[in-house]
Chains A and B, each alone.
Chain A
């Protein structure tokens, strides 16, 4: 599903590589935590999958895409098969909940009748039915993140990337979001989640890939956050 082979990434502005000879493989339907302190290379890792960045060395594969080598023209195809959720939600404040989700389909040219069908479905899945016409500012943080997840999932991506999705949320709300991500994972979607949240990692007991100074220092099939410290 996802495979990195001896991937290194050196930014022009830095002497130390952000990623240093990283090789890792993730299967379809896996739930993977990507942990490590700030600056350990988590964001770079995720950006490489999305082809926001190109590796300095090595190969990156997502599904059938040879991410590092593919032409710019095909990048939208890759991104359509990956959903993204962020710490700061990134919703459009001028659009309602339903419009925010529909936006993701409109801009990739999905026909209107598909949109009116799948948007309510996905809003129901994330537990926001009844709030379609609210604006993001009228929602709690947890609800806003649900909108973001709905938007990321509405096109049924193969992979869902979540970059500290609970970073701005209280523990209870975080727990709800994790349940939602787990539910999405059960549909067969690979979920990769970068996080600093010990509690969540420890309670979920899923695969943990730990990065430190750009290297993979741990890869446990059923890991916890703080082992060996």
Chain B
């Protein structure tokens, strides 16, 4: 196989259909960019789940009466609730946080908003059992057992909030992947079309090649490589697009959230880890489409 010959054919082919080639590259790039975005969200959700998994707690909030009068949880019903919590299976640790400690923590969290702190009074903060579970998913057990008991004001599940947040992210991921799929379909049709046009414009060459006994591979490979090269350029464009999107847009709008550690930042490393998949998908789709098109529509 003479590679120099095949590649000069590929370059000629791509140049000859330059508008079609650009359309093919852009469609592929957008499709892969969306796929990449979706994959980045998947990575982010995974990271967040790992981050929070060890930290998620269930808060058992105590009534105002207990909060005001029982600083060290030595009286009933507080002491009884604590021992019940300790004995509940699946509970890893129970920490009692009285009203003053709670207020301190509140002040810490909202350090940046002094006007909020001015308004806040310790009386508004209930004493709380912060319960850590062995399996953070199984918050229902605590909720069912302790909600409504004397001395308990309510059970607050951090996981519920996070779940809603994850739902939002997963929704975004699904939309990105569906759009990627639609774009991929468009890219597929464009690839198929470009190859057919390309084969038509080169029918004389191909005719001669067949006549002098060039093998199937020799006649088809330039077309296949043409599609794959366009796919790879599309993937490069998509990765560049993701990097630019991160640098100029995503970093700016998520700065507050990432600096306070609520969501993990999307790093260049994440893009680097996702990009081989984009290249792989690009090569697979373009090569398969090219091959099928040549088989079905082009007599070579």
A residues apposed to B, CB below 8 Å: 50, 72-73, 75-82, 84, 90, 92, 103-104, 106-109, 111-112, 151, 155
Can you name the residue of chain B whose Cβ is closest to the Cβ of A110? B2
Name the contact of A90 in the complex, choosing from B1, B207, B213, B215 (C-beta under 8 A): B207
Name the contact of B208 in the complex, choosing from A72, A80, A103 (C-beta under 8 A): A103
Contact A90 B204 (CB under 8 A): yes
CB distance from B53 to the nearest CB of A (A): 58
Also in contact, A106 and B211, with CB within 8 A (given A90-B204, A92-B204): no
Name the contact of B213 in the complex, choosing from A73, A76, A92, A111 (C-beta under 8 A): A76
Can you name the residue of chain A whose Cβ is closest to the Cβ of B8? A106
B residues apposed to A, CB below 8 Å: 1-2, 5, 204-205, 207-216, 218-219
Also in contact, A77 and B213, with CB within 8 A (given A90-B204, A90-B207): yes
Contacts of A151 in B (CB 8 A): 208, 212
Contact B213 A109 (CB under 8 A): no
| A-B pairs, 4 with minimum CB distance | A80-B213, A79-B213, A107-B214, A76-B213
Contact A107 B212 (CB under 8 A): yes
Complex Cα distance A112/B210, Å?
20
Can you name the residue of chain B whose Cβ is closest to the Cβ of A103? B208
Contact B212 A80 (CB under 8 A): yes
Complex Cα distance A75/B207, Å?
14
Complex Cα distance A106/B300, Å?
17
Contacts of B216 in A (CB 8 A): 72-73, 76
Name the contact of A155 in the complex, choosing from B5, B204, B212, B215 (C-beta under 8 A): B212
Also in contact, A107 and B204, with CB within 8 A (given A76-B214, A76-B215): no
Contact A107 B209 (CB under 8 A): yes
Name the contact of A106 in the complex, choosing from B2, B204, B213, B215 (C-beta under 8 A): B2
CB distance from B167 to the nearest CB of A (A): 55
Contacts of A109 in B (CB 8 A): 1-2, 215, 218
Contacts of A80 in B (CB 8 A): 212-213
CB distance from B157 to the nearest CB of A (A): 67
Contact B204 A78 (CB under 8 A): no
17 contacts between A and B (CB under 8 A): A75-B213, A76-B214, A78-B213, A80-B212, A84-B211, A90-B204, A104-B208, A104-B212, A106-B5, A107-B214, A107-B219, A108-B212, A108-B213, A108-B215, A108-B218, A109-B218, A151-B208
Complex Cα distance A107/B210, Å?
9
Contacts of B214 in A (CB 8 A): 76, 107-108
Contacts of A111 in B (CB 8 A): 2
Name the contact of A50 in the complex, choosing from B204, B205, B209, B211 (C-beta under 8 A): B211
Can you name the residue of chain B whose Cβ is closest to the Cβ of A94? B12
Most central of A80, A107, A108 by chain B CB within 10 Å: A107
Contacts of B211 in A (CB 8 A): 50, 79, 84
Complex Cα distance A111/B1, Å?
9
Inter-chain pairs besides A79-B210, A84-B212, 15 sampled, C-beta below 8 Å: A79-B211, A79-B213, A80-B212, A80-B213, A81-B213, A82-B213, A90-B207, A92-B204, A103-B205, A104-B212, A107-B209, A107-B218, A107-B219, A109-B1, A111-B2
Contacts of A81 in B (CB 8 A): 213
Contacts of B213 in A (CB 8 A): 75-82, 108, 155
CB distance from B177 to the nearest CB of A (A): 40
Contact B5 A107 (CB under 8 A): yes
Complex Cα distance A155/B208, Å?
14
Can you name the residue of chain A whose Cβ is closest to the Cβ of B207? A90
Contacts of B218 in A (CB 8 A): 107-109
CB distance from B216 to the nearest CB of A (A): 8
Contact A92 B205 (CB under 8 A): yes
Can you name the residue of chain B whose Cβ is closest to the Cβ of A115? B2
Contacts of B215 in A (CB 8 A): 76, 108-109
Contacts of A78 in B (CB 8 A): 213
Contacts of B208 in A (CB 8 A): 90, 92, 103-104, 107, 151
CB distance from B66 to the nearest CB of A (A): 87
Contact A79 B204 (CB under 8 A): no
CB distance from A4 to the nearest CB of B (A): 20
CB distance from A115 to the nearest CB of B (A): 9
Most central of B205, B208, B209 by chain A CB within 10 Å: B208
